[in-house]
């Protein structure tokens, strides 16, 4: 609006200073007034060209039209997440479906061919042609595709792979822990034992080794770095040495019969001849059945030793058990301990360099004597006989005199 002198309110006349902002600061248009500057052209030139700076590739994440560029195809080599490889590339869906369809035809034929091959070799007595170093061609189950894995292969989703591999991993871990309780495992310098579990890549392809390690950590297991081996994932767990338990010493008085370290109850003498004759028939039958029922797993690594101590009679132990003579049992125990000592010295049961006397310079010698050897003499008698050869009760294992006696001979360092 004009003030009568050719000036307009809010616009400023010639030679006048800048007018205050027409809107209060607290209004809905609060903020700096872009027209409050004396000279709107005194600002920096927005189109001024400065020193060119290195710019990121504008086409790294999107194109000139503002749309993201498609991700690059995954390379054939798997990605690594630290020391453990990530998910492997998915298999072709058509190939997976073809394998699942044809396996119901070639798997029975494969098994029938293996049975026929073993029958021919058994009856001909020939060693047969030399096969490959690996025994994978004997295990048709490795090429069999279960329906649960079929879903994971087709979808490729990590959650489907986890649902498939989690029960397998738990079963193998429980089996390894049961084997440790039965005496398996690699003995370390601190007398602790380490157990290991391996899974082939076909069982966790879409989850990756890192995902398997994450599942194993729930059970207290750790992953072992692959070291370039991408065909499997290795897991391990180290169990501490067992606590000290009371056990008789070699120089202690003999243990009483019926006690864990004393002589065990003898089997019926008149039954022993029948067991001795019939075992030549039922032992091979039981062995063949165990081979056919390969899916039945025994958690105890010494299952057949315990079974043999219960249902078989050794030819050399027959007279000692039949007569119950203490002298016969003593001769039998000494013979077996001497044999196991020779085996340990010859095969190098301990690790490290072997010295001239047959002992290891770094690790002790370890032997095991089963119940069938000392049934009528007692486990304590084994300790007394083994002490003459320098063997003591092995502190890396819990004593199980009702099944076996584990002994060790310390090396020179000990």
Instruction: Decide if 29 is inside a domain.
Output: no
Instruction: Decide if 329 is inside a domain.
Output: yes
- Residues 396, 354 share a domain: yes
Among 177-181, 217-221, 226-230, 286-290, which stretch is predicted with the lowest mean pLDDT?
226-230
Instruction: Decide if 39 is inside a domain.
Output: no
Which of 214, 212, 248, 250 lies closest to 232 in space, CA to CA? 212
Instruction: Decide if 304 is inside a domain.
Output: yes
57 pLDDT exceeds 70?
A: no
From 188, 219, 239, give the residue that closes a domain.
239
State the pLDDT at residue 182. 85
In the three-class reduction of DSSP (H, G, I as helix; E, B as strand; rest coil), residue 248 is classed as coil
State the pLDDT at residue 135. 53
Instruction: Decide if 307 is inside a domain.
Output: yes
- Residues 296, 223 share a domain: no
State the pLDDT at residue 299. 64
Q: Token pair of 57, please?
A: 């590739």
What is the rounded distance in angstroms from the CA atom of residue 246 to the CA atom of residue 395? 11
Instruction: Decide if 245 is inside a domain.
Output: no
Q: Token pair of 123, please?
A: 């009856």
What are the tens digits of pLDDT across the range 291-336?
A: 767 667 776 777 888 888 889 998 989 999 999 999 999 999 999 9
Whole domain around residue 154: which residue ranges?
A: 93-121+136-239
Instruction: Decide if 224 is inside a domain.
Output: yes
Cβ atoms of 366 and 407 closer than 8 Å = yes
DSSP code for 363: S
Give kind and range of the element (H or E) at residue 222.
Answer: strand 222-224
- Residues 290, 168 share a domain: no
Number of independent structural domains in the chain: 2
- Residues 404, 275 share a domain: yes
Q: Rounded mean pLDDT of the chain?
A: 76
**Residue 125 confidence class, pLDDT cut points 50, 70, 90:** low
Instruction: Decide if 339 is inside a domain.
Output: yes
72 pLDDT exceeds 70?
A: no
Among 22-36, 136-150, 377-391, 395-409, which stretch is predicted with the lowest mean pLDDT?
22-36
- Residues 294, 230 share a domain: no
- Residues 105, 224 share a domain: yes
From 194, 222, 239, give the residue that closes a domain.
239
Check residues 157 and 26 and name the one with the higher pLDDT: 157
């Amino acid at each position: 609006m004009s003030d009568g002198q050719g000036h307009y309110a809010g616009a400023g006349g010639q030679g006048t200073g800048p007018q205050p902002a027409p809107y209060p600061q607290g209004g809905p248009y609060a903020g700096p007034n872009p027209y409050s500057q004396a000279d709107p052209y005194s600002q920096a030139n927005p189109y001024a060209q400065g020193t060119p700076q290195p710019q990121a590739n504008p086409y790294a994440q999107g194109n000139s039209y503002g749309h993201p560029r498609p991700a690059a195809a995954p390379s054939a080599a798997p990605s690594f997440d630290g020391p453990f490889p990530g998910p492997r590339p998915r298999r072709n869906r058509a190939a997976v479906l073809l394998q699942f369809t044809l396996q119901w035809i070639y798997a029975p034929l494969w098994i029938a061919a293996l049975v026929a091959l073993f029958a021919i070799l058994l009856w001909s007595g020939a060693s047969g042609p030399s096969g490959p170093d690996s025994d994978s061609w004997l295990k048709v189950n490795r090429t069999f595709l279960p329906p649960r894995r079929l879903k994971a292969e087709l979808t490729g989703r990590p959650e489907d792979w986890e649902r498939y591999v989690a029960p397998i991993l738990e079963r193998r871990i429980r089996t390894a822990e049961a084997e440790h309780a039965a005496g398996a495992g690699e003995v370390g310098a601190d007398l602790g034992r380490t157990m290991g579990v391996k899974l082939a890549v076909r069982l966790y392809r879409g989850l990756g080794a890192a995902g398997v390690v994450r599942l194993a950590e729930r059970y207290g297991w750790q992953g072992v770095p692959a070291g370039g081996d991408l065909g499997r994932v290795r897991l391990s767990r180290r169990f501490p040495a067992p606590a000290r338990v009371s056990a008789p010493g070699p120089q202690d008085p003999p243990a009483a019969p019926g006690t864990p370290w004393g002589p065990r109850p003898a089997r019926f003498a008149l039954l022993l001849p029948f067991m001795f004759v019939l075992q030549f028939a039922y032992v091979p039958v039981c062995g063949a059945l165990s081979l056919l029922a390969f899916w039945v797993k025994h958690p105890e690594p010494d299952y057949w030793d315990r079974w043999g101590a219960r249902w078989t009679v050794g030819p050399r132990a027959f007279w000692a058990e039949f007569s119950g003579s203490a002298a016969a049992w003593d001769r039998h125990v000494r013979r077996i301990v001497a044999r196991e000592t020779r085996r340990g010295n010859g095969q190098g049961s301990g690790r490290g360099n072997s010295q001239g006397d047959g002992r290891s310079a770094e690790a002790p010698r370890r032997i095991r004597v089963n119940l069938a050897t000392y049934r009528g003499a007692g486990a304590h008698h084994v300790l007394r006989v083994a002490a003459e050869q320098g063997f003591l009760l092995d502190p890396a294992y819990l004593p199980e005199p009702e099944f076996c006696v584990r002994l060790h001979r310390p090396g020179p360092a000990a």
